[in-house]
């Protein structure tokens, strides 16, 4: 496909827009960023990203969540300079992404990293450290440290051609961290990892957050996003659908309410409740699950009238997975309607 970005071989380095005033706390700022492609034969236009607006605050961990083809990888490639935008602007720590120096404080793990398989793990990390500006001695010291930190330190001289996919994924993460960047961008960092590897990567991301590193990563593994992220950005069909904390995304999405009563609550259930209210025994308590929140006041009134000991009323909010699937279904239905 033909790239619809600027036709110049070199990006301009003069008269670039500076970050808006008052945005010093932003590690990443994106305004109306778009990426379009045209097929060289059919001239059919494909939208990779469509007018993305996003701000990532310094020191936060934010996850990009979306199905295949949603625009997650396109977004990360634009921010890291691997492809050029068709339109829009973005800054890393206030520096336009068109400038090479915007990436000096960046560590990046692509979805499919390339490795020189004739190198050892230690040599590869020394190379990555040197390219990131470390001295030879410092690159060597950090290479050994990060090999050990990602669980590859027992065989530093092993050639990469003998690494498994999971081992290569760990090495790629170490290469992104070897120069201790202020911003970490990871494209599917859990890809190819077993449960132990996923646990280790989660620990590394939490460690980076503790030292103040900003982390932006994409993932299909919703539990990892829930466990790690300060905020979640849902991307669908090249557009930012929603962004916010888990509680903000779940606000107004109460799917049921659990009313817990001490002891046995003995009374005849009103027939009008039907299957909208279910009862279950839980140890020495009785729980009523109100599946229709509109019935909550009526249920509480009945319980109080029958002298039930109401101990708690707990709303059950939708999970991130259910929110994501509902958003994807809504977007798909809208897309079908627009093309009908």
In this structure, is residue 24 part of a structural domain?
A: yes
Task: Give the chain's end-to-end CA distance (angstroms, integer).
Answer: 26
- Residue 171 shares a structural domain with residue 311: no
In a domain, 325, yes or no: no
Mean of pLDDT values over 176-195: 92
Q: What is the DSSP secondary structure assignment for residue 116, as one 8-state letter?
A: -
185 near 106, Cβ under 8 Å? yes
- 143 plus 30 within the same structural domain: yes
225 and 305 in one domain?
Answer: no
pLDDT at 319: 64
Burial degree of 281 (CB within 10 A; 0-12, 13-18, 19+): exposed
Q: What is the mean pLDDT of the chain?
A: 84
Residues 211 and 269 grouped into a single domain: no
Question: End of a domain among 249, 282, 299?
Answer: 249
In a domain, 33, yes or no: yes
d(CA 108, CA 218): 12
334 located within any domain: no
Same domain, 168 and 265: no
Say whether both 19 and 135 belong to one domain. yes
Q: Which residue has the higher pLDDT, 208 or 250?
A: 208
Position 256 scores a pLDDT of: 80
* The domain boundary residue, chosen from 219, 249, 279: 249
Model confidence band, residue 335 (pLDDT cutoffs 50, 70, 90)? low
Full domain range(s) for residue 203: 2-249
Q: State the pLDDT at residue 295.
A: 87
* Burial (0-12, 13-18, 19+ Cβ within 10 Å), 104: middle
CA distance 11 to 14: 9
pTM above 0.85, yes or no: no
Last residue of a domain, one of 249, 267, 296: 249
> How confident is the model over 315-328, as a mean pLDDT?
68
Q: Looking at the structure, tell me whether residues 122 and 259 fall in a common domain.
A: no
195 shares a domain with 280: no
Look up the CATH number of the domain holding residue 166: 3.40.50.300
Task: Kindly state the percentage of the chain with pLDDT values over 70.
Answer: 84
Do both 277 and 231 map to the same domain? no
Query: Is there a domain that residue 339 lies in?
Result: no
Measuring CA to CA, how many Å separate 197 from each of 74, 167, 190, 240?
Answer: 26, 9, 8, 30
Domain count, the chain: 2
Helix (H, G, I), strand (E, B) or coil at 304: helix
Question: Could you read off the pLDDT of 283-303 as tens digits, one per residue?
Answer: 788 888 888 878 889 989 988
- The answer to whether residue 101 is domain-embedded is yes
- Considering the domain architecture, whether residues 133 and 181 belong to the same structural domain is answered as yes
Residue 23 and residue 153 in one domain: yes
- Name which of 277, 212, 241 is nearest 64 in CA terms: 241
pLDDT of 215 reads 96
Strands of 309-317's sheet in order across = 277-282, 285-290, 254-262, 309-317
Token pair in block for residue 332: 């798909």
The residue to which tokens 């499919």 are assigned:
112
Run of H or E including 327 = helix 320-339
pLDDT at position 237: 85
Q: What percent of the chain has pLDDT over 90?
A: 47
- Residue 78 predicted with pLDDT over 90: yes
Do 311 and 201 lie in one domain? The reply is: no
**pLDDT value at 321 more than 90:** no
> Which residues have a Cβ under 8 Å from the Cβ of 252 and sit 6 or more positions away?
none
Q: What is the rounded average pLDDT of the residues 23-49?
A: 86
| Domain-located, residue 136 | yes
Q: Is residue 323 part of a domain?
A: no
Structure-token pair, residue 142? 């950090």
In terms of pLDDT, which residue wins out, 45 or 282? 45
């Amino acid at each position: 496909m033909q790239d619809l970005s600027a036709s110049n071989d070199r990006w301009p380095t003069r008269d670039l827009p500076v970050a808006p005033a008052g945005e010093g706390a932003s590690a990443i700022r994106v305004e109306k960023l778009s990426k379009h492609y045209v097929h060289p034969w059919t001239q059919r236009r494909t939208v990779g990203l469509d007018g993305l607006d996003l701000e990532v605050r310094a020191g936060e961990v934010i996850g990009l969540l979306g199905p295949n083809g949603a625009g997650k990888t396109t977004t990360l490639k634009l921010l890291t300079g691997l492809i050029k935008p068709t339109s829009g602007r973005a800054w890393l720590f206030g520096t336009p992404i068109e400038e090479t120096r915007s990436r000096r404080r960046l560590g990046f793990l692509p979805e499919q990293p390339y490795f020189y398989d004739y190198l050892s793990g230690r040599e590869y990390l020394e190379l990555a450290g040197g390219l990131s500006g470390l001295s030879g001695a410092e690159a060597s010291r950090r290479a050994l440290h990060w090999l050990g930190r990602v669980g590859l330190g027992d065989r530093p001289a092993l050639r990469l051609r003998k690494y498994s996919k999971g081992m290569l994924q760990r090495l790629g993460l170490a290469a992104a961290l070897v120069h201790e960047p202020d911003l970490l961008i990871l494209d599917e960092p859990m890809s190819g990892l077993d449960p132990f590897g996923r646990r280790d990567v989660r620990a590394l991301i939490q460690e980076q957050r503790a030292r103040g590193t900003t982390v932006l990563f994409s993932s299909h593994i919703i539990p990892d996003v829930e466990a790690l992220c300060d905020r979640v950005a849902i991307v669908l069909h090249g557009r930012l659908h929603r962004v916010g904390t888990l509680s903000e995304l779940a606000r107004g999405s109460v799917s049921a309410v659990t009313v817990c009563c001490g002891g046995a609550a003995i009374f005849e259930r009103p027939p009008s409740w039907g299957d909208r209210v279910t009862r279950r025994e839980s140890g020495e308590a009785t729980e009523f699950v109100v599946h229709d929140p509109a019935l909550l006041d009526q249920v509480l009134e009945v319980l109080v009238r029958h002298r039930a000991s109401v101990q708690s009323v707990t709303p059950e909010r939708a999970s991130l997975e259910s929110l994501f699937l509902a958003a994807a279904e809504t977007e798909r239905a809208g897309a079908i309607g627009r093309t009908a």
